[in-house]
Amino acid sequence: MKGESVIFTAHLPSGFSEGYRYARWIVLMKKHLIFIGLVFCVFFLGGCATHLDQAGQFRNKHKEESRGYVGLHPVSPEAIDAIIDIQYGQIVGVIAGLCPEEDHPTPEVNKLADNLIKIETHSNAYWKKMSQELKTAATHGGQVYQYDFDNGSHQRIGFLVLKNGDIVKKIELY
């Protein structure tokens, strides 16, 4: 401690107590720590600062058009695929449950179940294609969003892909 207080002795008039010199040293160290903290924030945290996400860029770039988009929710295409797979499995499982083998269903019930499974398989293929289109459009920096649109006269829900603040793909569900 003696060596550190000697450093600051030259800056203080004679007659000041050792306690004052120690307090002055602490104040100077706090100032240095604050400065080091600010430098850390500027260089390290500032370099990692997030820029506006795609939705923010879209809202800034297309102020009028973006007003109707009351909800823009980022969605992973993989999550969409998982939901499609789960839904398909559940629906086919329910249809298959209509025709348990121990109940010896009639040929009409079997035919109905086969037709329902074909319809669901076709629907599943459509959703898989839609998901692939979203994935393709989102390559190279795009982001998939589920959107809620309401401009007062029209309400829509669907998916869109934003890239550099622009809509590059839009799939309206209803």
- Tens digit of each residue's pLDDT (9 = 90 or more) over 125-151: 999 999 999 999 999 889 999 999 998
Question: Strand pairing partners for 71?
Answer: 148
pLDDT tens digit string along 37-70?
A: 544 444 444 444 444 688 899 999 998 888 888 8
- 111 and 144 part of one domain: yes
- 67 and 126 part of one domain: yes
- 101 and 151 part of one domain: yes
- The letter for the amino acid at 174 is Y
pTM (predicted TM-score): 0.61
**CB count, 10 Å around CB of 75?**
18
Tokens of 84: 């499609």
What distances in angstroms separate CA 89 from CA 48, 63, 98, one per listed residue? 42, 42, 14
- Average pLDDT of the chain, as a whole number: 76
**What's the structural domain count of the chain?**
2
What distances in angstroms separate CA 174 from CA 98, 157, 163, one per listed residue? 30, 6, 23
Q: Which of 44-53, 93-102, 162-171: highest mean pLDDT?
A: 162-171
As a 3-state breakdown, the chain gives helix, strand, coil percent values, each rounded to 5, of: 60, 15, 25
- 41 and 84 part of one domain: no
Domain of residue 134 covers 54-172
- 6 and 71 part of one domain: no
- 6 and 65 part of one domain: no
Residue-level pLDDT at 17:
55
